Amino acid sequence: MRRKRLLWLLVPVALCVGFFYAGDFLALNQSPRHSDAIIVLGGGPEQRVSKAVQLLREGYAPRLLLSGGAIYNPWQTQAQHMEQEAVTLGISPKRILLENHSQTTVQNALYSLQVMKSHHLNSAIIVSSTFHMRRAWLDFLYVFSGQGIRLSFSSSPYPGYHPETWWQSAEGRNITASEYAKMVYTIAVDFLWHKLEHL
């Protein structure tokens, strides 16, 4: 009887804690480690490229790998758009690799892995927006598992999204709900369903 009462007390407490820390859980941010490349995921604001360029200038990696296909503009891939931003910030095109095919975060990981293998790169820093990092972490660890490539994850700020107070704005609520829904889809479809299809 006491156990049941304790359980009924703990469940709402756990849900409450989970609610308030939902944004912080998304906002994975690790200390950068010296690597062979910095992979920047497309589909976000210019802060992603700025963060990657900052890491490049601080000596954490010698090159950028910009990942993203043509989603918003049929005449230019996200990777090409980010390349323009990086060059504007003073980065030589010779230090930039492009992955122009991905349409999703899982594909960012799949196609970036191909580029890394073709250039014999053994480590990378993944850069994306704060709210996107947990899903990027899931996808890249899943795709890169067993490949012998070391990854670390460094987030860039996203204007209007504050992980610690995500529920206080409509944008924060929409982004957080969307990211959790996409993570569920990723685990259920990209990881489990597609894996079962190949058994």
pLDDT digits (tens, 9 = 90+) for 153-166: 999 988 889 989 98
CB count in 10 Å sphere of residue 54: 16
Per-residue pLDDT tens digits of the chain, which is 199 residues long: 555 554 444 445 344 445 668 889 899 999 999 999 999 999 877 899 999 999 999 999 999 999 999 888 788 999 999 999 999 999 999 999 999 999 999 999 999 999 999 999 999 999 999 999 999 999 999 999 999 999 999 999 888 899 899 889 999 999 999 999 999 988 888 777 665 444 3
Element containing residue 108 per DSSP (H, E): helix 105-118
Distance CA 111, CA 125 (A): 15
Query: All domains of the chain, ordered by start, with CATH?
Result: 35-159 (3.40.50.620)
Query: What residues does 156 pair with on adjacent strands?
Result: 129
Place of tokens 């012998």: 148
- Tens-digit pLDDT profile for residues 89-108: 999 999 999 999 999 999 99
What are 25's two structure tokens?
């859980």
pTM of the model: 0.88
